[in-house]
Amino acid sequence: MSVRRLFVYLLVGIATVWGQSNLSRYEGRIITNGSADSLWVELYENSGHLQADRVPVNRDGSFTVTAQNTQLYEVRVVTGHGTRIMSEHIQFRQGQLVELRMPKSPTEEAAPGGPISIARLAHKPPKTAKKFLREAESLAAQGDMKGSTVQLEKALAADPEWFEAWNNLGSRRLALGQYAEAADAFRRALAIDNKAAIVHANLGLAHLFLRQPAEAEAAARRALQYEPGSPRAYYVEGMALLQQDKRQEEALVKLRDAAAAVPRALLAVAEWNCRHDQLRACESDIKTFLKTPRGPSHDAAEQWLERVRKHRSSLVK
């Protein structure tokens, strides 16, 4: 198998596990003097660039999130209207309950960055919809993406205007390879909040998988309009430019800028280097990727690295 063909298989494998590697459920509790049932917990990777999860808090302050135990997260507590109350950086560990102690004057805390639509701020999902969303997150943590999708569809049947449920549904459909359906779900989320950078980036990712790079590039640029410097948007834009064979140097810069938060961007740069006979640079990028927290793509990347090394050795002889 050629180095290039191996990369193609690797990229297909990566697409099916975007954001789903090494996921587990973790229990937490908010310590507060009042009721916590109107609060939400949000997880962000890379200091707020990528939203990894968003779950409602139970009346007693308990919550369950889905996360990777190798990843450092910014954990935010926000009101139902999106106002940030507090945030901490946490690495989740199995068997350890995470406790978040509320500040004494939460109303004085700064609001989260980025615009949020009035409709999204005012929206309050019913308890039935919240229950289905919790079940969906639980099934996703167990690797049951089909079951999670079913529960999210139930949540949306109970509340068709729930932004988070539409975005989560799109993410589940991406994981299942249902790219057109994922794009439709992201568009429904954007109809509620058109300034949500993460959803524009997610929609761009769906366009990439549908081999619609022009649409992916446009979606990434809209994401960057609302969240400048977003690594996921940089990844989508860089991949879209490479798929169109245009402004390739700019594309490589975008992918390298994304790589700290989206390590798979290094594999795209490595593939470009391989195709352009820059084998030393290709090998270096794969080795850098292999130093990131281990996930499903690492086995294929190790095979790819071995083939690159052998090919380089054959050229020396």
- Residue pLDDT, tens place only, 78-134: 776 566 677 777 777 777 788 887 754 322 233 333 455 556 666 788 889 889 988
Q: Which region, left, alpha or beta, applies to residue 277 given φ > 0 means left and ψ of -120 to 50 means alpha?
A: left
58 pLDDT more than 80: yes
Dist CA 213 CA 266 (whole Å): 19
pLDDT at 65: 86
- Give the tens place of pLDDT for each residue, 235-249: 999 999 988 888 888
Dist CA 120 CA 46 (whole Å): 24
**What value does the mean pLDDT of the chain take?**
78
100: helix, coil or strand? strand
1 pLDDT more than 50: no
- Give the tens place of pLDDT for each residue, 167-217: 999 989 988 889 999 999 999 999 988 888 889 999 999 999 999 999 999
pTM confidence score:
0.63
User: Could you give the domains of the chain?
Assistant: 24-113 (2.60.40.1120)
Dist CA 162 CA 40 (whole Å): 14
Nearest to 23 by CA among 63, 53, 3: 53
Cβ neighbourhood burial of 21 (10 Å; 0-12, 13-18, 19+): middle
For residues 309 and 222, which has the higher predicted lDDT (pLDDT)?
Answer: 222
Average pLDDT over every residue of 63-90? 74
21 pLDDT more than 60: no
